A and B are shown apart, each in its own frame.
Chain A
């Protein structure tokens, strides 16, 4: 939750994205950005008008960050943007400066005339930034004054995404700026219906979901991170092969990789149908099934390689358990208290089981 050391993105750092604004332009932007289609004049200065259609570079950019490429620099300048032809009476929507978030929002706003106030969340999505406090009361108050919003619009209402609420104290914003805060729907796709109904959200609009698709798009980043760490494991296997009586081969590679895929992709995907509640348990169960199945298929239950099979049965399911447990951070429904309880039980078991497994596998490989 607290993020006292905001990595290297502090002010004045190389990725600081807040050049001094000229008097005429409220929000600086890159003239090469295809998603800016023009400028609109306001009493305070001109504001970039933004397209509600995503282009090829937007789609490619989204794909890249889903695979963890350049995720932390995928951001736009904080400030005020226009959709359509807004005037002083148009609604103001508030969002984050992660470009993936901004794109998800603007593509749902076609046909609307509204303002979009973008907070500086250091390139993090609304919900995570709210948890860290960067999508927060102070930044919102600062951004309202910095953009001169009270001169651009005559009303005093802001529509915030509901998931920004963990970072914003609505009544405090009103006290400091005079703007009242209405929390809009969880998902951008409901904004039109929300605005059309006079800012009334249905229960459905207010509820966070975690659909199979929601889970699937999160798995590449998990898998890529695990794959990077796995390079070290493969390196050790390679070195051991120099003096192993039973060298590690393709079957070992598949057994290991299967356990990684089970923990990072399969367990998240099958989350609701795997029995139990703790993520580590769910991952362990699937990892056990995978290891049992693969060991049986590879004939490792014969008396010769049996110690190897037992070693893998200790090591690989606990690897899947660990990776699945890390998916708690990506999930939308795990509480801190719950995760503390889960990790306190799971981590010692995982560590113990892994050590026993690794020792058995080493013995089986070196002595054969």
Chain B
């Protein structure tokens, strides 16, 4: 069974005018959100997007925007409580030294 998260929330946007059809986005996307045909990329599964930001970062034409971040509730709540930006460093809880 395929795991799917909430619908209609992803901030991923693709500018068709800027796209040069290089296909880098299809190479890096871990959830097969893009498809390239006739030298143009298009978003085929926006709800599959987890906003990791790999596509936007690697797009040489700057055709993709997404407000990237880590989808972690614990980090968000910690950020709200401490008034800081959410940061996923739960790995440091036990003190690394």
Contacts of B72 in A (CB 8 A): 326, 328-329, 334, 339
Q: Is B88 a contact of A128 with CB atoms below 8 Å?
A: yes
A235 within 8 A of B: no
Q: B46 → chain A, closest Cβ, in Å?
A: 10
What's the Cα separation between A131 and B76 when bound, in Å? 15
A13 within 8 A of B: yes
Name the contact of A206 in the complex, choosing from B7, B24, B32 (C-beta under 8 A).
B32
Q: Is B86 a contact of A68 with CB atoms below 8 Å?
A: no
Of A101-109, A140-148, A272-280, A285-293, which stretch is located at the interface?
Answer: A272-280
What's the Cα separation between A335 and B4 when bound, in Å? 11
A71 within 8 A of B: yes
Contact A337/B58 with A72-B91, A225-B93, A331-B71 known, Cβ cut-off 8 Å: no
Residues in A189-220 with C-beta less than 8 Å from chain B: 201, 203, 206-208, 210
- The tally of residues in B whose CB lies under 8 Å from a CB in A reads 52
Q: Is B11 a contact of A337 with CB atoms below 8 Å?
A: yes
What's the Cα separation between A326 and B69 when bound, in Å? 16
B68 within 8 A of A: yes
What's the Cα separation between A5 and B88 when bound, in Å? 11
Q: Is B71 a contact of A328 with CB atoms below 8 Å?
A: yes
Q: Is B73 a contact of A328 with CB atoms below 8 Å?
A: yes
What's the Cα separation between A186 and B32 when bound, in Å? 12
Interface centre among A5, A203, A335 (most CB of B within 10 A): A335
Contacts of A277 in B (CB 8 A): 4-7
Q: Is A72 a contact of B92 with CB atoms below 8 Å?
A: yes
What's the Cα separation between A90 and B27 when bound, in Å? 23
Contacts of A92 in B (CB 8 A): none
What's the Cα separation between A340 and B67 when bound, in Å? 12
What's the Cα separation between A2 and B79 when bound, in Å? 12
If A131-B52, A167-B57, A207-B32 are given as contacts, then 16 extra A-B residue pairs at C-beta distance below 8 Å, sorted by A number, are: A6-B89, A8-B97, A9-B96, A71-B94, A124-B91, A162-B28, A165-B27, A207-B30, A272-B1, A328-B74, A329-B73, A333-B4, A334-B50, A335-B49, A337-B9, A340-B76
A residues whose Cβ falls under 8 Å from a Cβ of B: 1-9, 13-15, 68, 71-73, 123-124, 128, 130-132, 162-163, 165-171, 183, 186, 201, 203, 206-208, 210, 225, 271-273, 277-280, 325-326, 328-329, 331-343, 347
